[in-house]
Amino acid sequence: MKSPSFSVLIPDGESDFALFVIHGFIGFPQVKLYVLSNQHWAPTRFSRYCHKYIFKKSSADAGERFDIIADVVRQHDIDVILPVEMEWIAPQDARRHALSELAAIVPVLDFKSFEVANSKWLLFELMQEYGIPTPPTVLCTLNSDFEQQVNHLEFPALLKPVTAWGGEGIRRFDNMSQLYEFLEQCDGEKIENRYIVQSFLSGYVIGLNILCREGQLLACTVQRGFIPNPQRYAAAAAIQFIEREDVLEIGEKLVSALKYSGMANVDMFYDTRENQIKVLELNARFWGSLRGSYVAGVSFPYLACLAALDIPFPVPDYQLTRYIHPKTALKEGMLRFLGKSQYEKFPLEETGLRYMLADPIAETLRAFRQQLSGDRWQ
């Protein structure tokens, strides 16, 4: 069966994940990619797979941004709009509906669901309501109720920002006195209702990557890290794709409760003491190991476009392969040369280096950008 031809607009080409999304179309040359960005020199501008790069400076005003997108859609006869980041488009239900009159938009959360998905505390409350297993969690209200609830938590415990991701801002405390000592030194206004305390479990993290529409699972991959990230609590430096029916069962229950639409990475944890999968958080966006799913045979961006165009497809199978991030592949290659690597040689097709070779200029600029702060880059 011939793959359909259509044009796609990525309206936020300045996003850190935009190049990852572009690479989801490497195997689909019949798709014409347009990239709109509010930065002159974003790495996506230099991608071999970008048909046309459009720079339009826009302010933080959502209305202005949607007007610019609408003009580009009309000018280039765009078929599908594929946003990378959810923060700017999810709250704009009315404007998004108006934009959908001009072009199909990939499945996206409404504002209410986005608020719940993007808050560890609101998500915890939802999971409690629907009986979805999750670690014991307390919101930092810093009052007498908070103290009473923390007394019932099992330590060690983690202090986590309600809305941060990627391991940012997480602190571990081995006992209650350590936690209280830290909180006493903090500005209460910066902590209250902005952090949660969550029991630290024994076991390992499992990631569920999903594409959904109105609570229905359209595509998924399941992964587990096998090389840890040097940065504590950050995503693994190398992953193995695995099969876990219990992960899928809980994932389907979660997306149904949220009536979830769009892409997401769900962090889960296998609690070895209770022999149970528990949900940690849901990242309502594309994720850092997205290209690993391409290696496993699932292009979430491409399938999202098919869903937007109402082109049916079966839930795809994925290969039980591995994916090693580029820095890790280079590091382990050097250690192997010195006879110090504890891992077997990684085939090129299992590493992110394949994308550096496929799209060298854009990838080099993206790597350089990572070394700089956002302000310095701009």
For 38-197, where are the alpha helices, taking DSSP H only?
62-76, 93-99, 111-117, 120-130, 144-151, 176-185, 188-191
Query: Which helix (H) or strand (E) is 4 found in, with range?
Result: none
Superfamily designation of domain 203-324: ATP-grasp fold, B domain (3.30.470.20)
Both tokens assigned to 286:
């594309």
- Write out pLDDT tens, residues 148-162: 899 889 999 999 999
Q: Which of 103, 135, 182 has the alpha carbon at shortest distance from 281?
A: 135
pLDDT at 1: 54
Residue-range domain boundaries for the chain: 6-105, 136-199, 203-324
Q: Does the pTM of the predicted model rise above 0.85? A: yes
- Write out pLDDT tens, residues 248-297: 999 999 999 999 999 999 999 999 999 999 999 999 999 999 999 999 99
pLDDT at 375: 37
Does domain 136-199 sit in CATH 3.30.390.10? no
pLDDT at 18: 96
Mean pLDDT, all residues of the chain: 92
- Write out pLDDT tens, residues 163-188: 877 677 899 999 999 999 999 888 88
Q: Which residues pair with 323 in a beta bridge?
A: 239
Q: Which of 314, 285, 282 has the alpha carbon at shortest distance from 301?
A: 285
| pLDDT above 80: residue 60 | no
Domain 6-105: which CATH number of 2.40.50.100, 1.10.3720.10, 3.40.50.300, 3.40.50.720: 3.40.50.720
Angle, CA 2 vertex, CA 310 and CA 70 arms, to 5°: 45
